[in-house]
Structure 1
Amino acid sequence: MRLLLNVIWLIFGGLWLALGYLLAALICFVLIITIPFGFAALRIAVFALWPFGRTVVDKPGPRPGALVGNVIWVILFGVWLALGHIITAVAMAITIIGIPLALANLKLIPVSLMPLGKDIVPVDSVANPDRAFA
């Protein structure tokens, strides 16, 4: 079922959302000082291409720099990427088949707003916490 949802997702919205994250990453890499944001954007772009079967968890340990970085991210890119997820979720929720895709879009909004200090892991590893960060 995850494979089918991921393929439908890729065709009807995932590709466009991933391109938005890739554009954000490209801008971050060009600005040099924002290179860490670029790596976060690339990580989310891959997640936006194939979201079913994976989830977002907080990275272990204190991350004081992540808060400052996330504030900068929200101002530069987060609002626009979250708005793209909201618009895509509304468009997908119009049909019954699109409701799981709309929910996946809503699942991506928190990580699009605050990507630093997060990790994307398989859903199976969350059920078994010993494997979550292996």
Structure 2
Amino acid sequence: MTKIAAAAFFAAKLAYETDPSDLATARAGGNPPLVIDTRSDAAWAQGRIPGAVHIPNADLQDRIGAVATSLDQEIVVYCWGPGCNGSTRAALALATLGYTSVRELIGGFEYWAREGLAVVTDDGRTRQQPDPLTAPAA
């Protein structure tokens, strides 16, 4: 592998992925991305990122036009976590449909919650202490 190939690979990863901390920072800014939860109804009810839009993968193609304002809108997709490829499938589907600014949340909902970021369930909003293996302890 050449230095150029390695640099291109890592640049592409950063262009098409984001992590929970960077997503939280982007959401706190003036122009937050559209965040889409691709999981099942049961998973959505169990917990989700506040402000996320629930569109399971099976419905994505039919429903994305109702929530995305343009093909160049910044979109972040997520599923459960590193053991789930639902967000990868969603990102591929959106890119195939022509959306040009799609990113996958690495770590998914699992790492969002483990980093101590706010979570919404059907019972309300919560936040757990950060897991010291994923974020600095307070």
Task: Tell me the TM-score normalised to structure 1 length.
Answer: 0.25
Structure with the higher fraction of residues in strand conformation: 2
Task: Tell me the TM-score normalised to structure 2 length.
Answer: 0.24
